[in-house]
Chains A and B, each alone.
Chain A
C-alpha cells in the first residue's frame, strides 16, 4: 500500500517537470523578442532591457531554466508587470471566491450526476435513459456562457430569485453567499454533470454485465443492493478517474463563469491578466492550476487503493 502511494507520488514528479518545461519554453520559443511581447508596443528600449534583465533572457536557455525553476521551488513566482505586487499575493487575494465556486459546483454535480448515471444504466434503453443521455449531450454542447446568460435571464431577471451578479463571502452570512454563488455553480455544474453522468452510466453498464452482478442477482439480493453495493463500488474507479480528468474542464469553466457572473476570483484574474498582457501572472496561474490538477489526480489514484483491494495488495 505504502509502496503503491510512493510510486504514484514519484510518477507525478515528471508530469510537473514537463508542465514547468512547457510553460518555460512557451515564452522563450514564441517567435519574436519575449521582452517586447511582454512589454507591449509602447515600451522604451530601457524598459525592454530591464525586463530582459529581470527574466534573465540574456542567459543560455538551460541556465535560465535552472534559475527559473529554482525560483519557483522557493515560492518566487515573480511580480505582476502592472501592479508590481508579488503574483502569489495577487492569487491569494482571489482564492476564496474561486474555491467557494468550485466546492459548491462539486456538491451540486455529485448529488445530481451519479444518481442520474446509475438510473440510466439500470433502466438501459428506457425513456429515462434517453432523457439522461439527452440532458448529458445538452450539457456538453451548450457553452457555459450561454447557459450562464440563460440562467441569469430566467432566475435573476425574470423570476428575481437571485441577484444578477457579484460575490459575497460566506463570512457575510449564508444566504447572501448562497444566493450569489448558486447560479454560477449550477452553470458550471452543467458540463460536469454531463460528463460524470455519462461516465457513471457507461461504467455501470459495463459492470452490470459482469458475472458477479449475475451472481448477486442469483443470490436473491434486492436491486438496491445489487446496484449500489455490488455495481457502483466496482464502477467507482472509472467514475473517479473522470472526476479527476474533468477537473481541467472545470478550470476553463471557472474562467468563463466568473466573467459572466462578475465574480472576483482567479478566473477574472486570468482574464484581466490576458487583457493587460501580464505574463508573469498568466504563467503562475497555469503552473498553479496544473499543479492542482496533478495533485487532485494523485489523490484520486491513491483513493483507488481504498476502492479496489486488488490495487492495495
Chain B
C-alpha cells in the first residue's frame, strides 16, 4: 500500500495516469470469465423451455437412476427425471431469487439507511431493530418463516430477503454518516438547500457505488440461502426444480451416484462464484479503498 504523504506529493501525476476509464487491456481474465459464465447460466435459465431435452418434472419409472449418456447427459434421478433438464430449469429459480432479493433489499434498505443516517431518533430506533435482526442467524430465520407461511416462491423470497436488509441499511447509513460530515454538505446547508435536496443531490449519489457492490453480494448470498433451504427440505416445494432440490433428492444416493449432487452443485458454485467475482471487480473499479470484508 502506497504511502499517503508521498502519494500526496506525487498526486497530480498519479491522478492523471489512473483516473481515466480502465483500458480494455487492463481487464484481467477472471472477471471476463465470470461474465461469460454468468451469461451462459442466464441464457440457460431463459432458454430452458427451448433447449431442455425433457420435461423437468416428468417421471419415468423405467429409467430410474440412469447413468450419464447421450440421452441423459447428467443421468436421471430416483424418479427417472432427466437431471440435465432439471438443472437447466433450476437456474430460473436461483436467478429469480438472487435478483429479486438484491432488488428488494436495496429498495427497502436505501430509504431506511438514508433516514437513519440523517435523523438521530430514527437512527436510535431503527438500528436497534436492525441489530436484533442481524443477531438472528439468517438461515434459521428463513426456515422459521418458510415453515410457518408455507413453501411458495414468494415466501422463500421474503424469507431470504429480510435478513439481507439490515446489511444494506447499515451500509447506506455509514456512507451517509461519513458523507454528511463533508464540507460540501455543510455548504449546501449554508445555501439553504432543503433536507430532501441534500439527501437526494449530495448524499444518495455517494451510496450508489457501494450499493451496486453490496447488491451483487446480496444476490450471491440469496442464491446460496435458497439452495440451502431447498437442500434442507425447507425451500420451494419439490415439484419446482431448483438446484438445492435436485441435490436434496440426490443426497441419499450420493455414494451410488455422486453426479446427482455434483452437477447441480457445480452450476450453483459457478453461478455464485461468478457473481462474487463480478462484485469484487465492481468494487475495485469503483473504489479501490472499499476493499474490505463484505460484512465489515
Report B250-292 residues with CB < 8 Å from chain A CB.
Answer: 251, 254-255, 258, 261-262, 265-266, 268-269, 272-273, 276-277, 280, 291-292
Knowing A141-B273, A149-B261, A251-B140, the reply to whether A214 touches B3 (Cβ < 8 A) is yes
Number of B interface residues in the complex (CB < 8 A): 55
* A171 lies within 8 A of chain B by Cβ: no
B233 contact from A14, A30, A275, Cβ within 8 A: A275
B54-62, B129-137, B187-195: which one contacts chain A?
Answer: B129-137
Is B295 within 8 A of A242, CB to CB? yes
Is A138 within 8 A of B128, CB to CB? no
Is B139 within 8 A of A143, CB to CB? no
* A82 lies within 8 A of chain B by Cβ: no
Is B232 within 8 A of A277, CB to CB? no
Knowing A22-B133, A137-B276, the reply to whether A251 touches B139 (Cβ < 8 A) is yes
Is B293 within 8 A of A146, CB to CB? no
B137 contact from A206, A259, A293, Cβ within 8 A: A293
> B178 → chain A, closest Cβ, in Å?
15
* Across-interface contacts of B251 in A (CB, < 8 A): 145, 149, 260
B18-26, B45-53, B141-149: which one contacts chain A?
Answer: B141-149
* Across-interface contacts of A51 in B (CB, < 8 A): none
* A124 lies within 8 A of chain B by Cβ: yes
Is B232 within 8 A of A143, CB to CB? no
Is B144 within 8 A of A26, CB to CB? yes
* Across-interface contacts of A255 in B (CB, < 8 A): 139-140, 228, 232
Contact mask for chain B residues 216-257; partner A; CB cutoff 8 A; 1 contact, 0 none: 000010001101100111100000000000010001001100
A238 contact from B1, B3, B266, B296, Cβ within 8 A: B296
Is A279 within 8 A of B147, CB to CB? yes
Is B2 within 8 A of A209, CB to CB? yes
Question: Which residue of chain A has the shortest Cβ distance to B292 in the bound complex?
Answer: A202
B296 contact from A15, A143, A242, Cβ within 8 A: A242
Is A137 within 8 A of B296, CB to CB? no
* A252 lies within 8 A of chain B by Cβ: yes
Knowing A143-B269, A279-B147, the reply to whether A286 touches B293 (Cβ < 8 A) is no
Interface of chain A, helix or strand or loop or mixed?
helix
Question: Which residue of chain A has the shortest Cβ distance to B269 in the bound complex?
Answer: A142
* Across-interface contacts of A150 in B (CB, < 8 A): 262
The listed residue with most B CB atoms (<10 A of its CB), out of A138, A140, A141, A164, is A141
* Across-interface contacts of B149 in A (CB, < 8 A): 30-32
A169 to B125, CA, bound (A): 45
A22 to B145, CA, bound (A): 11
* B204 lies within 8 A of chain A by Cβ: no
* Across-interface contacts of B266 in A (CB, < 8 A): 146
Excluding A282-B143, A290-B137, 18 further A-B contacts by CB distance (< 8 Å) are A137-B273, A143-B227, A164-B255, A195-B293, A202-B291, A202-B293, A209-B4, A214-B3, A242-B293, A242-B295, A248-B135, A248-B136, A251-B139, A255-B140, A256-B231, A274-B147, A274-B234, A282-B140
Q: Please list the residues of chain A having a beta carbon within 8 angstroms of any beta carbon in chain B.
A: 14-19, 21-23, 26-27, 30-32, 37, 124, 133, 137-138, 140-146, 149-150, 152-153, 157, 164, 195, 198-199, 202-203, 205-206, 208-209, 211, 214, 238, 241-242, 245-246, 248, 251-252, 255-256, 259-260, 270-271, 274-275, 277, 279, 282-283, 285-286, 289-290, 293-294, 297
A to B CB contacts below 8 Å, 29 in the list? A17-B132, A18-B133, A26-B148, A27-B148, A124-B1, A137-B273, A137-B277, A143-B231, A143-B269, A146-B261, A146-B266, A149-B254, A149-B265, A202-B296, A208-B1, A214-B3, A238-B296, A248-B138, A252-B139, A255-B140, A256-B139, A259-B231, A274-B147, A274-B234, A282-B143, A289-B137, A290-B135, A290-B136, A293-B137
